[in-house]
């Protein structure tokens, strides 16, 4: 599968993230790569998660280790992205030469969307069903995982969605609820099996948990520290992530 247009736009707008990939290739470590790029360890993993989720395959592969340990390397797809970016830089130089006015570049910049949603998952529409005022859109995420979104008829038409359409599902971390072994699923909700990859506890009551999906994509969730302690959650814990279809926002490459 070719690199999605949204990922191509993203790396063109955020060259420091490509620099991070280059540092990972050279250093073999997230910690060292983050330091070389001049960003925090957390910012480095946030960037990697976003790129991995937008790509057709993970760009970075991580080996086991503690918060500052373990190693990391680029996948074959990650190496391909680096080569692609070099070609994009050449094209970018040509575009800059062709732009008649600086306002042309400002216009292009406004057309590139950035979002505050922590979770951005690429999926393909494999089901469309009308339900009253809304459409229920089924999305295949890959690896046998599937979620649903509930959007208006107007949104379906405006995005020109049809079977096979490639979309980006946006989901805020605060909308993802974690479920332990004894917790019941709310009717009608999306539920994904996950493995805890990291617990980012910065001292606040609300703790960020990074979750690995079976297809190589990643979810971020916010939950309360007492719940984590009560459930004995740690690296490698198996949890379910629950969120209602109405919380899933959909976007398509412009």
Summarize pLDDT for 156-173 with one digit per residue, the tens.
Answer: 998 999 999 989 899 999
Reported as a pLDDT band with limits 50, 70 and 90, residue 2 is very low
Reported as a pLDDT band with limits 50, 70 and 90, residue 112 is very low
Give CA–CA dist 190/49, Å, rounded: 21
Give domain 5-111's CATH architecture: Orthogonal Bundle (1.10)
Residues 6+ apart with CB under 8 A from 52: 58, 59, 60, 216, 217, 218
pLDDT (0 to 100) of residue 87: 72
Reported as a pLDDT band with limits 50, 70 and 90, residue 207 is very high
Give CA–CA dist 90/173, Å, rounded: 36
Common-topology check for domains 5-111 and 119-170+247-251: no
Residues 6+ apart with CB under 8 A from 40: 34
pLDDT (0 to 100) of residue 37: 85
Q: What is the mean pLDDT of the chain?
A: 82
Q: Whats the size of the chain, residue-wise?
A: 254
pLDDT at 22 over 70: yes
Summarize pLDDT for 120-139 with one digit per residue, the tens.
Answer: 898 999 999 999 989 999 99
Domain ranges of the chain: 5-111, 119-170+247-251, 173-244
Reported as a pLDDT band with limits 50, 70 and 90, residue 99 is low
* Domain 119-170+247-251, CATH among 3.40.50.300, 2.40.50.100, 1.10.510.10, 2.40.50.140: 2.40.50.100
Summarize pLDDT for 226-236 with one digit per residue, the tens.
Answer: 999 999 999 99
Class of domain 173-244: mainly beta
Collapsing DSSP to helix, strand or coil, 236 comes out as: coil
Lowest-confidence range among 58-62, 244-248, 250-254?
250-254
């Amino acid at each position: 599968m070719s690199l999605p247009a949204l990922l191509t736009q993203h790396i063109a707008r955020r060259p420091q993230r490509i620099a991070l990939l280059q540092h990972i290739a050279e250093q073999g470590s997230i910690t060292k790569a983050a330091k070389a790029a001049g960003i925090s360890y957390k910012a480095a993993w946030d960037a990697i998660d976003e790129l991995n989720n937008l790509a057709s395959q993970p760009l970075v592969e991580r080996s086991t280790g503690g918060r500052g340990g373990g190693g990391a390397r680029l996948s074959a797809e990650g190496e391909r992205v680096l080569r692609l970016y070099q070609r994009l830089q050449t094209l970018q130089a040509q575009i800059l030469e062709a732009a008649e006015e600086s306002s042309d570049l400002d216009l292009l910049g406004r057309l590139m969307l950035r979002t505050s949603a922590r979770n951005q998952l690429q999926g393909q529409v494999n089901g469309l069903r009308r339900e009253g005022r809304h459409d229920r859109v089924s999305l295949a995420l890959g690896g046998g995982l599937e979620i649903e979104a509930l959007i208006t008829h107007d949104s379906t038409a405006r995005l020109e969605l049809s079977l096979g359409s490639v979309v980006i599902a946006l989901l805020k971390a605060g909308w993802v609820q974690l479920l332990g072994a004894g917790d019941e699923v709310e009717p009608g909700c999306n539920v994904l099996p996950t493995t805890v990859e990291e617990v980012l506890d910065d001292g606040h009551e609300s703790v960020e948990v990074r979750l690995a999906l079976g297809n190589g994509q990643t979810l971020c969730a916010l939950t309360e520290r007492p719940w984590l302690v009560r459930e004995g959650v740690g690296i490698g814990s198996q949890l379910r992530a629950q969120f209602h279809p109405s919380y899933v926002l959909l976007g398509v490459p412009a």
